[in-house]
Amino acid sequence: MRTSPPFLTSLWAATAIVAATAIPVVAQETDDYAKLGPNAVAITSDAAYLRAAFAPDYWAYAPFTKPQFTTSACSIATVTAVINGIMGQPEWASETIMSQTDLLELTGNAQWAALSAEGGDGVTFQQLVDFTTAALGAVELGRDVTVFHPTAATDVSRAQMIEMLVENEASADDAIMVYFNQGVVTGDWDGPHISLIGAYDAAQDRVLILEVDQEWYIPYWTSVDTLMEAIVKPTSDEHGPLEGETGGFVMVRAAG
């Protein structure tokens, strides 16, 4: 769960002093840093692959990838994007596009709702698997769930990761959700996060992340190796029940 960046805290403190004393305060220089570190590139800076390639997942899922409705709701936001992307735009004018709260109501899962509420703990990797399976059943969408949960960044696990990315990139019939340490990729906070993979550029060995954390980010590219590092990094003890959690892929694919 995010906290206010240090530079904002300093700014708010300075504002409070001005209000209380009516004496002008000169703001101190802060230790702000670039929005994305060296391991990620914003889609607005590099969209060449999407202009040249078929990229079926990007076009199917990007329109349905919406901001998580709380700071703890990345799991429900991502699962909702996947289900909406598979089902597509509703046929009739009277039908709305399913929201994150709609899906929570359909599943009737009080635990998922509590973990996704503001201030909630967020979900473990296994809970993401379980909640995804339950959500697919709730909307009567016949899909299988395949799990990739590596314990280390080995050659074997990397090969498995690439195999799933290649399969996923071939059509929009399947989707991959990634559970990862967001800070390894973005250079920001050290914490677990879930978003949707929007494309795999094999020539440059990189992945496009369709962020649901849209208060802070737009979609960005990162290398396969960086994403693997983010997947296998254990969650720190500051995240309570999620301490020690590592990530992976949860792939939703056609049944059979």
CATH of the domain at 246: 3.90.70.30
Residues 26 and 101 in one domain: no
For Cα atoms 150, 197, 91, give the angle at the middle one, nearest 5 degrees.
135
Residue 218 gets the label, from left (phi > 0), alpha (psi -120 to 50) or beta, of: beta
Helix, strand or coil, per DSSP, at residue 87: helix
Which residue blocks in 117-252 are alpha helix, DSSP H? 125-138, 155-170, 182-186, 224-232
Whether 68 shows a pLDDT value over 90: the answer reads: yes
Is there a contact between 126 and 246 (Cβ–Cβ < 8 Å)?
A: no
Of the candidates 153, 186, 179, the residue with the CA atom closest to the CA atom of residue 251? 179
Instruction: Give the pLDDT confidence of 176-225 residue by residue, as tens digits.
Output: 999 999 999 999 889 999 999 999 999 999 999 999 999 999 999 999 99
Residues 91 and 178 in one domain: yes
Residues 15 and 57 in one domain: no
Residues 49 and 122 in one domain: yes
Residues 84 and 2 in one domain: no
Range of the domain at 59: 35-254
- Which pLDDT does position 29 carry in this prediction? 59
Instruction: Give the pLDDT confidence of 100-142 residue by residue, as tens digits.
Output: 999 999 999 999 999 999 999 999 999 999 999 999 999 999 9
Residues 112 and 21 in one domain: no
Residues 167 and 221 in one domain: yes
Residues 26 and 55 in one domain: no
**Number of domains, the chain:** 2
Residues 16 and 135 in one domain: no
- Which pLDDT does position 26 carry in this prediction? 47
Confidence class for position 6, pLDDT limits 50, 70, 90: very low
Q: How far apart are the two ends of the chain, measured CA to CA in Å?
A: 37
Residues 121 and 183 in one domain: yes
Between CA 76 and CA 6 the distance in angstroms is 29
Residues 14 and 48 in one domain: no
Tell the residue number behind the tokens 């709305």, with chain if given.
96
Whether 10 shows a pLDDT value over 80: the answer reads: no
Is there a contact between 248 and 165 (Cβ–Cβ < 8 Å)?
A: no
Between CA 100 and CA 68 the distance in angstroms is 8
